[in-house]
Amino acid sequence: MHTDYLTNPESYKQLEEYFFEIFNNELQKRRSIAKDFTSPHYSAHFADGTPFMDANPIFSAKNTRTGNILRVVITEDVSEYAINHNSIDDFEELCLIMKISDISLAQQDISSWIADQKE
């Protein structure tokens, strides 16, 4: 899926939309309150509006109630799907890092992160 995402702006946009759709679908499934989340959380554009197109992050969200952050990164510089927990300004960031071939693995972790925000 979209293996040319680093060189093709249309493929990159489709990947952004793919993760945004997963996130919104999981919000609905879990009956989470959408206004408790902002997405994107991290800017993925230069000051002139040009996208970075480096897929770091391809998707991000922040729970405005808990302050916790979700970041999804696609890179070919990783040997396998990875989950990192980072502390940023006393809040937790869940960072999902994967190759393009592993993007389907992220849905469960996105769903779990959303569920954890209700606790």
The pLDDT value given to residue 1: 60
Q: Is residue 1 part of a domain?
A: no
The pLDDT value given to residue 20: 97
Q: Is residue 94 part of a domain?
A: yes
Q: Which range marks the domain in which residue 67 is found?
A: 9-116
At 19, which helix (H) or strand (E)? helix 9-29
Q: Is residue 4 part of a domain?
A: no
Q: Is residue 26 part of a domain?
A: yes
The pLDDT value given to residue 3: 84
Q: In which residue ranges of the chain is pLDDT below 70?
A: 1, 119
The total domain count for the chain is: 1
Give CA separation, 10 vs 24, 31, 72, 87, in Å.
Answer: 21, 31, 19, 33
* Single pTM value for the model: 0.93
Q: Is residue 79 part of a domain?
A: yes
The pLDDT value given to residue 26: 94
Q: How many CA atoms lie within 13 A of 105 on its CB side?
A: 14
